[in-house]
Chain A
Amino acid sequence: DAKTTQPPSMDCAEGRAANLPCNHSTISGNEYVYWYRQIHSQGPQYIIHGLKNNETNEMASLIITEDRKSSTLILPHATLRDTAVYYCIVRVREYGNKLVFGAGTILRVKS
């Protein structure tokens, strides 16, 4: 699985968009970008994933650059409950494939 690079921490004002970057310059053609988050020592929670097109769901949007070497997770209207560690993971989307977690980005949403 390709390695990822994320900033260690970011701050965001409540109600504003939170944009979390991730670099994955060695990503392979069959590898997807997944995002999980972990709120205060709870179990990680799946957010979104994508291959090469931008994706949106009820939680977030995922923007992947055309060369697929980087991506951005967007929380459109961050709330205090979005304060968490956000993990960007690159992996092949197949059954039984393992998740490899890095250190992630600590997002602090402030009022």
Chain B
Amino acid sequence: NAGVTQTPKFQVLKTGQSMTLQCAQDMNHEYMSWYRQDPGMGLRLIHYSVGAGITDQGEVPNGYNVSRSTTEDFPLRLLSAAPSQTSVYFCASSSPTGATYEQYFGPGTRLTVT
């Protein structure tokens, strides 16, 4: 299994541009989520999904959209990039059948908005 994969690894955007961060998992996990991590800070939840067709907001959802059309993919869209969205973005997934409900994280996407 590849686990949780994220693309791209690095991205530079200009203010006002839009883009989609990709996240995919091959573990058949139903729960997926997006976090952002600013320098020297802990992770903050942006959006999450408990299954295909179901999404909900986390702690910091403004400026981001998500959709979940398949179990495997959970893309994060930046509608109009702002410098405040410069951050490292992590995607995570979790299985409903595991005893721990532990979350598996991807390697992250480093986004800079100028």
Contacts and interface: CB of A to CB of B under 8 A. Distances in A.
Contact of A95 (B44, B50, B105, B108): B50
A45 to B, nearest CB: 7
B101 A87 contact: no
Contacts of B33: 98
Interface residues of A, number: 21
A14 B32 CA distance: 36
Contact of A42 (B50, B100, B103, B107): B107
Residue with the highest number of chain B CB atoms closer than 10 Å, among A94, A99, A100, A102: A99
Given A42-B108, A96-B31, A101 B88 contact: no
A103 B42 contact: yes
B48 A98 contact: yes
B108 A43 contact: yes
B75 interface: no
A95 B10 CA distance: 31
A95 B96 contact: yes
Contacts of A99: 43, 45, 92, 103
Interface of A: 34, 41-46, 49, 87, 93-104
Interface of B: 4, 31, 33, 35, 41-45, 48, 50, 58-59, 88, 90, 92, 94, 96, 100-108
